[in-house]
Structures are given as C-alpha cells and as structure tokens.
Amino acid sequence: MISTFANPHRFMKFTQWMGPALLGLGIVILVWGLYQGLVLAPADYRQGDAARIMFVHVPAAMMCMGVYAFMVLASLSSLIWKHALADIAAKSAAPVGAVFTLICLITGSLWGKPIWNTWWEWDARLTSVLVLFFIYLGYMAIWSALETPQKAGRAAAILCLVGAVNIPIIKWSVDWWSTLHQQASITLTKISLPADYIVPLFTMLAAYGVLFGALVIMNMRAEIFSRRAEMLVQRQYASMD
C-alpha cells in the first residue's frame, strides 16, 4: 500500500474511482448522522436543545487535530524519507483541516452563547484552537507565496512540524489550566455520555473521516494533474527555444 501511494502513476490509477465513491458514502453518513443527532437524539436535561450542537462540534474538534497530525506525518515523510507524494498529501489536507477548525470555532461559539452567556472567551482551549486555524492559513499561504513546489513544500513542512507543539496544548489545556470547557467526555478508557448520544456522535465522526479521505484524494489528484500540465507547458516552451 505504501509503495502504491509513493508512486504518482499507481496512485492516480488506484484512486480513479475512490474519491467520488468516498464522497458519496460520506454524504450519506453525514445526512444520517445529522438526522440522528438533530432529530432523533433527546434534548439534554440541563442544556436542552443546545446540546445537539455537540454532534457537529465535537467531531469537528477531533478532526481538526487529527488532520493536523496527518499533515505532521506527511511532512516528516517528505523531509526525512523524501516520499514522492507526501508534500502533496499534506498540502491537500490543509484546506480540509482549516474547514474543520472553522466549523469547530463557529459551533463552539454558537454553543457557548446559551451555555456560558458569551460568544467568545480567551481561555486556553478556545485560544489554542484559534491559533491552530491561523497555522492552517499560514501553511496554505506558504504554498501560494513561494515560487516552486520544492521550496514551498520544504518551508510548509517545517512550519507544520513547528506548529505541532500546539496540538498537545489543545488536547490537555482543560487539564493544565482553568478553562470554561468541561473535561473530555471521550477518552481511551471511558465515554461519559448518555447512551442516546454515543451513536450519533460516532456516526458524525465517521462521516467527517470519510469526507476527509475523499477530499484529500480528490485534492491530491487535482494537484498531480496541475503539476503534470505545468511540466508539459515548460517542455513546450523549452522545445520552442
């Protein structure tokens, strides 16, 4: 599998059908998850209907960190092992991760107003997630600003690795500092959620994960096509000289 995704030609052949198929599957799971969470799941006895935002917010929060972890691994593969498609994978994942982070911030604000009586608070969790959003934007800006993919890929990979220090801050900020956020409801050892909330929550997480896979594959294919077209143009200009 690794050798398949290390070779652009095999990758393009292997993923020809995969992107649209995963996109369709992800949309179906997303619609079902939203129906479960926003319609079927009961209102919380303390937070009322505002608790339903968690079915969109919590999986987005998990994905924004998971996508960044994916980018870190891809950046390491690019810098250390010179994986042919690693920088393309990281570049393709960045806008998806930025969208998940934005969804996390917006839904968190919508939830915070009725629960905390404020749209925003500069506590450790909220601030570190906002920093993550800016790191995503900075990463994408580097790709747009530098003149060659090689220079852009190296600079973006270094930024990605430096920015990785923010991930544990987001994860454990509620344990290290006093924040408005409650302790994590989902850990490796326990899930402290009502039974009616577990299935919708994990359905939404699955939907986000499948959509992430679909969008990354489609973005990677578009980037490879773009680079091939640019190489053809350069060869044409070279032959004219």
**pTM of the predicted protein model:** 0.91
Residue 38: pLDDT band (50, 70, 90) is very high
Tally Cβ neighbours within 10 Å of residue 149. Answer: 17
Class of residue 93 by CB neighbours under 10 A (exposed 0-12, middle 13-18, buried 19+): buried
pLDDT of residue 5: 62
Cα 87-160-56 angle, rounded to 5 deg: 95
pLDDT in tens, 122-175: 888 899 999 999 999 999 999 999 878 899 999 999 999 999 999 999 988 877
Q: CA 55: distance to chain centroid?
A: 16
Mean pLDDT for 49-75 is 94
Cβ proximity of 19 and 221 under 8 Å? yes
Tell me the DSSP string of 28-82. Answer: HHHHHHHHIIIIISPPBTTTBGGGGGHHHHHHHHHHHHHHHHHHHHHHHHHHHS-
**Token duo for residue 37:** 């969470």
Radius of gyration of the chain from Cα atoms?
A: 20
Beta bridge partners of 191: 186
**Token duo for residue 143:** 């790709």
pLDDT in tens, 219-232: 999 999 998 888 77
pLDDT of residue 2: 47
pLDDT of residue 24: 97
pLDDT of residue 44: 81
pLDDT of residue 192: 72
Class of residue 120 by CB neighbours under 10 A (exposed 0-12, middle 13-18, buried 19+): middle
Of the candidates 55, 54, 21, 59, the one whose C-alpha atom is nearest the C-alpha of residue 35 is 55
pLDDT of residue 1: 43
3-class SS letters over 19-38? HHHHHHHHHHHHHHHHHHHH
